[in-house]
Homo-oligomer: A and B are copies of this chain.
Amino acid sequence: MNQPLPSSARESRRNFLLGLLGLTGGTLAAGTAARAAFTAMKSSTPHSPMNSLPRNAVILFQGDSITDCLRDRTRSWPNDPAALGAGYVGRLAGDLLAESPGAGWQFYNRGISGDRSIDLLGRWRREALALKPDLVSILVGVNDTWHESLTGNGVPVARYAEIYRMILEDTRRARPGVRLVLGEPFSLPGGEFKAEWMPELRERAAVVRALAREFAAAFVPYQQVFDEAQPRYTVAELAADGVHPSPLGHQLMAQAWRAAAGV
């Protein structure tokens, strides 16, 4: 965990993870702790995608530049620091692998800068389903609005909803037991993303929230995270251009992702 936790909670969380992975050496105490943690977590987070994730599970992050975050696209294998990029994905992979020795989870980042929902769908078979993911995390939507102004090639909200649904349907069909984590598209004021586009972005957020409910996915309220962070941090500290988070912003994203994913 990145948030400060009392050591008992840390211990419980650690046991929980180990218990789920069958790595507790079979001790009753650890198993009990894991089950207690499991129960507590289930009640607080209805969809906990990391629950009982199998050993060697493939954990895929998909999205736009925020997910991409300068990853080295020539390196396609899992758990490679350069391949995971400089943002929230690498942070999550490092933290979760450190806390779960022996889990063997394979983290992939396949975000591509500039992608809209339609671009994800266009490469979904090759760059998502072909990896046979056990967990898929998606963050897409800001370019669906932004590109309308940049290039006259945005994706209207109604089409965004349909395309996003196709992505989720195709994923569920190809990987029936897949865990899904859907991120709220977000922006911060005063940067490249104009205030007048915010109502549309909030409509997209509502679409994602509804799809998360429908597809039993975890929902990461990134907009809320950044809205609430602004009294403590300036926008310049969080995401100077209003779209691409700073290291601090990515750290908050990683924390929010864990909270939503129940891990």
Contacts and interface: CB of A to CB of B under 8 A. Distances in A.
A166 to B, nearest CB: 7
Contact of A162 (B148, B154, B166): B166
For A118, A130, A148, the residue with the greatest tally of chain B CB atoms inside 10 Å of its CB is A118
Contacts of A152: 125-126, 130
Contact of A125 (B127, B153, B170): B153
A1 interface: no
Interface in A127-147: 127, 130
A121 B116 CA distance: 12
Nearest to A169: B159
A80 interface: no
Contacts of A162: 166
Given A125-B153, A159-B170, A162-B166, 13 more contacts: A116-B122, A118-B118, A118-B121, A118-B122, A122-B122, A122-B153, A123-B153, A125-B152, A126-B151, A126-B152, A126-B153, A127-B153, A130-B152
